[in-house]
């Protein structure tokens, strides 16, 4: 039982933190810098008798590279491309790839009848060193050296936080971190692209360029200013770090929110007897720092009860709440007016502030009342007449029963 309460408590906390009541929250997980590798493309044509490209050329790549191999058969025979990662020697395989378990990179079979070019892509995610590539159908003639070099000095670019929520008209910050990779050392210049989709945001760096020490990091505070006219929504800004030979980037995601307000009725349902009245409280609350005057109006699903606000216009404070009382009268007015009909009504309460419009609904039920005061006029008159007749009849009866006086 304690575990269930603990899980519910954790879920409640998470829902509160993720709610609009925390408009300036940020995602605290930073983007992680990685070794930025190149994309390499290699073209190989298979020949059974003479080897790949007729001379089995050596292939040199860098650890971390993404390699795309463009494959075709030059002799109309079936071939496959395999990098012997686990160094267990090239061997024949009728399926095209070594049997599992195996760490080799393998394209599978292709022939001259295959749709050309056959493209096979893989990441050089194994250690630097000397390997071989070969054809599993012809491992003795179609085999060449596959050389993996260690990555050279480089740098990575990341942001913390990588996601921001910003209110219209305000600004927020993310720290741009440039990390030395493989003992990179040098100056890196930072720049930012216009937001996507386009917006009117302005950006700036506290330090630019940054000097990155070998094996260390350099930081710059990245400020994003959002004009009040920026449309609410999701945006992204690309921050690029570059030097004379390399360029890497990170993306800062933005969610722009607008000041707003909420409106509720408490209670949300009301029972009012004919001839009586009732009240409900209309509460308006600031959302995302909203402050301003909100005008209140009401509409009924059908005519009948009288509705009155007190007051009809309220000033909502920033990050606060304010209330107005809605009075509902089901009493008829005037000596000969029609009483309010019994039944169900829907009251729509609307709050308006400039272009912001929100509504709350009140379920209203007008029922019969107890006591004479709530009876229809005709019934009251009929009752009075009946009472008068009874009184007269009683008087006549008493007079007839009295003895006559002799004169």
CB 23 within 8 A of CB 115: no
As assigned by CATH, the class of the 260-367 domain is mainly beta
Q: Is 258 helix (H, G, I), strand (E, B) or coil?
A: coil
- What are the sequence ranges of the domains in the chain? 21-34+153-257, 39-149, 260-367
Question: What is the structure's pLDDT at 168?
Answer: 92
pTM greater than the 0.75 cutoff: no
- Exposure pattern of 228-261 as b/e (b: 16+ CB <10 Å)? eebeeeebebebebbbeeeebbbebbbbbbbbbb
**Model confidence pLDDT, tens digit, residues 341-393:** 899 999 999 999 999 999 999 999 999 876 433 344 444 455 556 555 665 56
pLDDT score at 345: 95
Q: What pLDDT sits at residue 396?
A: 52
Q: What is the pLDDT of residue 241?
A: 97
Whether residue 94 has a cis bond before it, omega within 30° of 0:
no
Instruction: State both tokens at 367.
Output: 């029922």
What's the confidence (pLDDT) of residue 114? 62
The reply to whether domains 21-34+153-257 and 260-367 share a CATH topology is yes
- The helix or strand, by DSSP H or E, that contains position 83, with its residue range, turns out to be strand 79-83
Per-residue CA distances from 316 to 167, 265, 289, 291, 355 (Å): 18, 16, 10, 5, 15
**Rg (alpha carbons) of the chain, rounded to whole number:** 41
Q: In a structure prediction context, what are the per-residue pLDDT tens digits for the chain, which is 407 residues long?
A: 555 544 444 444 444 434 443 333 333 344 444 445 578 899 999 999 999 999 999 999 999 899 999 999 999 899 999 999 999 888 888 888 887 767 899 998 988 776 667 899 999 999 999 999 999 999 999 999 999 999 889 999 999 999 999 999 999 999 999 999 989 999 999 999 988 888 778 899 999 999 999 999 999 999 999 998 899 999 999 999 999 988 999 999 999 999 999 999 999 999 999 989 999 999 999 999 899 999 999 999 988 899 999 999 999 999 899 999 999 999 876 555 678 889 999 999 999 999 999 999 999 999 987 643 334 444 445 555 655 566 556 565 555 665 655 54
d(CA 381, CA 387): 10
For the domain 21-34+153-257, what is the CATH code? 2.60.40.10
**Using an 8 Å Cβ cutoff, are 92 and 139 in contact?**
yes
Phi, psi of 329 (to 5 degrees): -115, 125
CB-CB contact of 208 with 218 (8 Å): no
Cis-peptide into 101, omega within 30 deg? yes
What's the confidence (pLDDT) of residue 249? 94
Return d(Cα 354, Cα 321) in angstroms, integer: 18
CB 179 within 8 A of CB 155: yes
Q: Which CATH superfamily is domain 39-149 in?
A: Cupredoxins -  blue copper proteins (2.60.40.420)
């Amino acid at each position: 039982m304690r575990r269930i309460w603990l899980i519910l408590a954790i879920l409640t906390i998470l829902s509160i933190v993720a709610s609009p009541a925390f408009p300036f929250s940020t995602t605290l997980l930073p983007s992680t810098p990685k070794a930025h590798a190149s994309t390499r493309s290699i073209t190989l044509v298979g020949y059974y008798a003479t080897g790949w490209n007729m001379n089995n050329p050596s292939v040199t790549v860098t650890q971390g590279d993404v390699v795309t191999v463009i494959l075709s058969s030059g002799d109309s025979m079936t071939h496959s491309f395999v990098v012997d990662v686990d160094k267990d020697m090239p061997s024949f395989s009728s399926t095209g790839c070594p049997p599992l378990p195996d760490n080799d990179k393998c394209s599978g079979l292709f022939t001259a009848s295959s749709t050309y070019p056959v493209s096979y892509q893989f990441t050089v995610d194994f250690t630097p060193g000397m390997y071989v590539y070969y054809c599993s159908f012809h491992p003795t003639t179609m085999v060449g050296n596959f050389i993996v070099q260690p990555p050279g000095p480089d740098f990575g670019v990341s942001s913390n936080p990588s996601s921001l929520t910003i209110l219209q008209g305000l600004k927020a910050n993310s720290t741009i971190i440039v990390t030395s990779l493989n003992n990179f050392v040098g100056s890196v210049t930072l720049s930012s692209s216009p937001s996507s989709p386009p917006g009117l945001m302005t950006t700036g760096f506290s330090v630019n360029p940054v000097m990155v020490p070998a094996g260390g990091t350099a930081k710059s505070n990245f400020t994003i200013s959002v004009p009040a006219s920026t449309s609410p929504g999701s945006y992204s800004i690309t921050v690029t770090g570059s030097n004379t030979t390399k360029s890497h980037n990170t993306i800062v995601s933005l969610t722009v929110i607008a000041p707003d307000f909420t409106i509720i009725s408490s209670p949300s349902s009301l029972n009012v007897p004919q001839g009586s009245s009732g009240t409900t409280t209309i509460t308006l609350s600031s959302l995302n720092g909203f402050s301003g005057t909100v005008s209140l109006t009401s509409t009924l699903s059908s005519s009948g009860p009288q509705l009155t606000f007190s007051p009809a216009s309220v000033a909502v404070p920033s990050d606060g709440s304010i209330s107005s009382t809605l009075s509902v009268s089901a009493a008829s007015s005037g000596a000969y007016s029609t009483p309010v009909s019994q039944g169900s009504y829907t009251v729509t309460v609307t709050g308006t502030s400039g272009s912001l419009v929100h509504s709350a609904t009140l379920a209203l039920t007008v029922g019969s009342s107890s006591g004479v005061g709530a009876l229809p006029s005709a019934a009251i008159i009929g009752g009075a007449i009946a009472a008068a007749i009874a009184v007269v009849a009683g008087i006549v009866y008493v007079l007839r029963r009295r003895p006559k006086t002799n004169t």
